[in-house]
Structures are given as structure tokens and as C-alpha cells.
Amino acid sequence: MKDVFSVKEAIQKIEFYCSYQERCHEEVVTKLRSMKMDLDEIDEIMVHLISSNFLNEERFACSFARGKHRIKHWGKIRIINELKFKKISQNLINTALKEITPEEYAETFHALAERHWETIRESDVLKKKKKFCDYMLRRGFESNLVFEKAKELER
């Protein structure tokens, strides 16, 4: 990789970076810093990206929430934490969570729970229940849903 980039070269490179996949502001700023751009240049480039619609935090948050739920089967808690980690505002997080319908969320939760329950090879019911709950909580599902489902599957 080249050491020094002009603003024009950096814009071209970052436009490709943003068009390849949705990015949040934090990811783009980190990338620009790795390209050794100074703060004034970073600000100029960010303004260009936002005005050219290469960068849109709402679009990123919605896409992130949809994708992580549908593909990786993450629960809302994990999605919220990951978006907060990426410095997305609470308003945008709330908007992003509306992308996941309650029906789709419940369907994913129940399918994942039943599939995982069947894969646990543990004869002790308490240990099996603990492994199940730990897994589902790591996935970011709400504790009340997880514990209710564990009781239901135990029977």
C-alpha cells in the first residue's frame, strides 16, 4: 500500500470502499487514518462521502440489523450492543430494529432454539439447560424469552 495519498486519490479509494459494502462513519474514519490522512483532509472527505450518498448511517444501521438477524441469527440485544460499539446513535438503533418484524424475530428465535436444543449432547438436564441458555444469551436474545423457551423444551 502507498504511504501518502492525495485527497483525490483517497476519495477515489474510499468511494470504492463504501460502495463495496455499507460502512459506518467510524469504519471510514479508521480507514482514512490508516491511510495517514490528517484531520482536515478526513473532514473534507467525509463531507464529500455524505453529500454524494456513499455514506449514510441510517442505511448502514438498517442493513446491519437486517443482515445480522437474518444471516447470523443475532438477537436484538447483540445487535444493539454492536451498533453502540460502532458509535451509532440511539435514534438510528431504534430505527434499525424496526427493520426486524416481531413475527420474523419470533420465528428465528424458535427455530434457532429448537435446532440448538437438539444438538446439545448432555444427559444431565440442568447442564443441558445451562448450555442452551448460555448459547442463546450470547446470541443476544432477551433472557425472559430464553428462560421460557428452556422450560418449554425441557418437558
Is the pLDDT confidence value at 72 over 90?
yes
pLDDT in tens, 84-96: 999 999 999 999 9
- Gap between the Cα atoms of 149 and 43, Å rounded: 49
pLDDT in tens, 40-63: 999 999 999 999 999 999 999 999
- Gap between the Cα atoms of 62 and 99, Å rounded: 6
From the number of C-beta atoms within 10 Å of its C-beta (0-12, 13-18, 19+), residue 144 rates as exposed
- Residue 155's identity, in one-letter code, is R
Q: Which residue has the cell 460499539?
A: 85
Alpha helices in the chain (DSSP H): 7-20, 25-34, 39-51, 57-70, 76-85, 90-97, 102-119, 125-138, 143-154
